[in-house]
Amino acid sequence: MSTPVLLDVDRLHTAIQEEYTEVAACPLKGFHFHTGRFLANRLGYSAQRVDPLPDAVVESFAGVGNPFSWGDLSSGETVVDLGSGAGFDALLAASMVGPAGRVIGIDMTRAMLDKARHNAAMLGMGHIGFREAYLEELPLPDATADVVISNGVINLCPDKAAVLAEAYRVLKPGGRLQVSDIVVATAVPDDAKEDVALWTG
């Protein structure tokens, strides 16, 4: 019989928010992960799409892969970005779906949301919006999205089953899930799961 994991979820949320508030405010500081244009290039993002973007749009990008490697988005589609951060992937999605489409970014870190909204306004993209919420409880109706994207955020969520259930709930029938994330090949010990520092460091 397994022992229940005693993770302090509120403490975990606070630690993640503190870390990514700093990524939003000081993206060039240097973290245990790469950020910005160097990372986007390393992960195979199209230079044709990324190079014209202002530094403010790219500098706080901290993904682990490229959700668009699973395929480009189509004009008119509705996209939900789980863990949208400063808006890099969401803004790329908005450029792909065009004004006939819609993009909704979801994040729990206010500094990232503020930066994402500023970036969208700077690029004049009125068909994108950002909402503050946890990914386990999306503030969206059923069957909202043609595509759900996410990049390096589900691994930070303690209840991954709830996140995936919410992703499928908001997808339209026949919709697509395009995710880049970290996956471990062996079981994580319970004492490691309970260590908030290992989640963020």
Give the start-to-end residue ranges of the domains of the chain: 9-200
CA dihedral 130→54→48→63, nearest 10 degrees, is -50
Write the DSSP string, 42-99. HTT--HHHHTTS-HHHHTT---SS-GGGG----TT-EEEEET-TTSHHHHHHHHHH-T
Asked if 140 and 105 touch (Cβ cutoff 8 Å), the reply is: no
pLDDT at 143 over 90: yes
> Strand, coil or helix: what is 34?
coil
pLDDT at 194 over 50: yes
Please, which pLDDT band fits residue 5 given cuts at 50, 70 and 90? Answer: low
The CB density around residue 44, as the number of other CB atoms within 10 Å, is 11
Mean pLDDT of 169-173: 98
CA 178, CA 2: separation in Å to the nearest integer? 33
Reported as a single tens digit per residue, the pLDDT across 65-105 is 999 999 999 999 999 999 999 999 999 999 999 999 999 99
Asked if 38 and 62 touch (Cβ cutoff 8 Å), the reply is: no
Q: What is the CATH T-level fold of the domain 9-200, as seen in this structure? A: Rossmann fold (3.40.50)
Reported as a single tens digit per residue, the pLDDT across 6-49 is 789 999 999 999 999 999 999 999 898 999 999 999 999 999 99
CA 168, CA 147: separation in Å to the nearest integer? 10
Selection from 74, 90, 162 nearest residue 130 by Cα:
90
Reported as a single tens digit per residue, the pLDDT across 127-140 is 999 999 999 999 99
